[in-house]
Amino acid sequence: MTSLRHAAETASGIPVAARAERRGFRFDPSVPILIAFALVLVALIVLPLSWLVFYSLTDKTGAFTFANFVELATNPVFVEPLITTVIVSTSSALICCAVAAPMGWLVARTDMPLRRTIRMLVTASFVTPPFLGAIAWELLAAPNSGLLNKAWRAISGAEMDEHIFNIYSLGGLIFVISCYTFPYVFVLVANALDRIPGDLEDASSILGGKTWTTARRITIPLALPAVLAGALVAFLQAMTLFGSPAILALPAGFHTMTTKIWSLFQYPPKPELAAAASLPLLIITVLLLRGEQAILGRRGYSVVGGKQGSPRLVQLGAWKWVALGLAFIVLLNPVFLPYGALFNAAFSKVPSQMIWFDNFTFHNIEFAFFELSATKLAFKNTFILCTLAATIGTVMAVVIAYVTARQAITGWRALGFLATAPVAVPGIVLGVGLFLTYTRPPFVLYGTLWILLVAFVTIALPAAYQQLQSAFRSVHPDLEEASRILGGTRLTTLGRITAPLLRTSVIATWCFIFVGVIRELSAAIILFTSETKVISVLIFDLNESGDLGAISVLGLIMLGLTFAVVILANRIPGFGGGVRFRNS
């Protein structure tokens, strides 16, 4: 850094200290622009949540009341969905921990073959939109037309009205949600086990501890915080999910809280009750996220000294092949079977029949792209929103991360809090808040793509901000200080010095926002109109009309785009991180 300071002095002819003193009296035009970004951030977060609270505490005449909350607490129409949501969320969290924690241990701490392949396949289930997975399981396990039930009847000779799977049930909903929630637990547990130094287990082994004793007294206690945090995340994801319950629970005749909130916008709309029903989800989400941070923030160990030892792999012997088989059996449910069902339906004349030479067709592709009028508009809207949301979200995240990392303006801590706050707002709740905010003057955005853009940028901001804030820590402030000494403003320094140094993280963040917008359904289902449909909403609508062949074609294209962008992001040199996707 001495050379940088020397270069600054040589170029200006003024000592650094004197230059810095003079700079203190110069007006920096970047400051108002940074403040404007801060105000936009405040508007994105505070406005919808404020209107949400206001509507929950008023009646149709605008008078103050607690009647909406009394209605929620006493009317069985609302109490039953709440109980169902608790059952679904708790069951899914327990199943995810029971499946993902052992699987994470096998991948991170044993000599099981194909461990990298298993991680890659878990990523495949991680980025699969849960609503698309639910539709795939409709194709597989619907009582009458499901491929698995038809195969069982063909093998066993059972009657046509008999079945072994019924996806339209509480158990079916819990199963499908667990399939697309367990990756959250797996990632937390596997990463925690990767970080546990092998020295700790080696010390136990030297002192005579056997493999199981070491696991019970060393490995499991150190990984337990990650398991507990994963359970909270799984509970949260299951609680706030909309797509899977809407596809599987409604035909079965029951609601969860998210589908009940959505139903309150059907005719006649009841926005006051929808706002009141959204607040408990918001409060529980905040509490669960705080619990996750408290658990993961604990320090279970510290290493004193130099280089840490590599994780010690447990030798499974012949059992490693059994473990590999079990891992692939688990992955049948979120990856192999659903993807196979979608491919089968996309190229089959009858989606409920196995594809064969006499059943093969390209008609579903023709129908989806040439006969279905809404497809082109949905793709156009999706592409516009993905591009704009990724660009605007990345720019906002860069600026806000810069402000908080460099403490550039007063109130930077509050900005950091607001930038991460949307992660605590379920998509369906944010959709309700934006609907209530932008259906009235002075900002009447409902019915336009702008309201969806606001929703998508808000949803994507926390992950983008966290990713880039971490990246800013890798750039020493002295580099920016040299630019400032030479007369550069904060924005000039950010654009010419800092941002180019962070281009890897910036590009990766852009890619992941793009992917997140493609798969977002929860907020879009509240805010769309006939002219602002996106691909996720179009797929949801087609499911209600039973066009499973077209759904499968569109779903496979969505998956192809998603995987292409994720692979591109992970091939960026130096990018080793990831961004947590919000479920829909």
294 and 399 co-located in one domain:
no
39 and 80 co-located in one domain:
no
Number of domains the chain contains: 2
Residue 325 lies in a domain: no
164 and 78 co-located in one domain:
yes
Token duo for residue 525 = 């289902």
Cα–Cα nearest to 518, from 466, 582, 423: 582
Question: For residue 443, what is the enclosing H or E element?
Answer: strand 443-444
413 and 283 co-located in one domain:
no
Residue 298 confidence (pLDDT): 54
Average pLDDT of adjacent 10-residue blocks, the chain of 584 residues = 45 43 52 80 88 91 90 92 95 94 90 91 87 95 93 88 92 95 90 74 64 69 82 90 95 94 89 91 85 64 49 82 94 94 94 89 92 92 95 90 79 81 86 91 89 94 84 72 68 74 84 89 92 94 90 94 81 53 60
d(CA 137, CA 333) in angstroms, rounded, equals: 9
Residue 312 lies in a domain: no
Residue 573 confidence (pLDDT): 61
Residue 326 lies in a domain: no
391 and 516 co-located in one domain:
yes
Token duo for residue 476 = 């020493």
159 and 297 co-located in one domain:
yes
DSSP assignment of 330-360: HHIIIIIHHHHHHHHHHTBSSTTS---TTTB
pTM of the predicted model as reported, rounded to 2 decimal places: 0.85
Helix (H, G, I), strand (E, B), or coil: what is residue 58? Answer: strand
382 and 292 co-located in one domain:
no
159 and 207 co-located in one domain:
yes
Helix axes 147-156, 130-141, angle to 10 degrees: 20
Residue 20 confidence (pLDDT): 42
33 and 89 co-located in one domain:
no
CATH classification at residue 396: 1.10.3720.10
Please state whether the peptide bond connecting residue 442 to the residue before it is cis, i.e. omega within 30 degrees of 0.
yes
Tell me which residue range forms the domain holding 88.
Answer: 74-301
Residue 69 confidence (pLDDT): 93
Last residue of a domain, one of 249, 269, 301: 301
What contacts 67, CB < 8 A, 6 or more positions away?
59
d(CA 88, CA 428) in angstroms, rounded, equals: 17
Helix (H, G, I), strand (E, B), or coil: what is residue 285? Answer: helix
Residue 469 lies in a domain: yes
Last residue of a domain, one of 301, 316, 345: 301
121 and 223 co-located in one domain:
yes
What contacts 324, CB < 8 A, 6 or more positions away?
112, 113, 114
279 and 377 co-located in one domain:
no
What contacts 153, CB < 8 A, 6 or more positions away?
159, 160, 162, 163
Residue 346 lies in a domain: no
Residue 554 lies in a domain: yes
Residue 126 lies in a domain: yes
Residue 351 lies in a domain: no
291 and 377 co-located in one domain:
no
Distances (CA, A) of 560 to 171, 181, 328, 381: 30, 21, 22, 18
Last residue of a domain, one of 254, 275, 301: 301
Residue 9 confidence (pLDDT): 45
Burial class (CB in 10 A: 0-12, 13-18, 19+), 159: exposed
Q: What is the DSSP letter of 582?
A: P
d(CA 61, CA 187) in angstroms, rounded, equals: 49
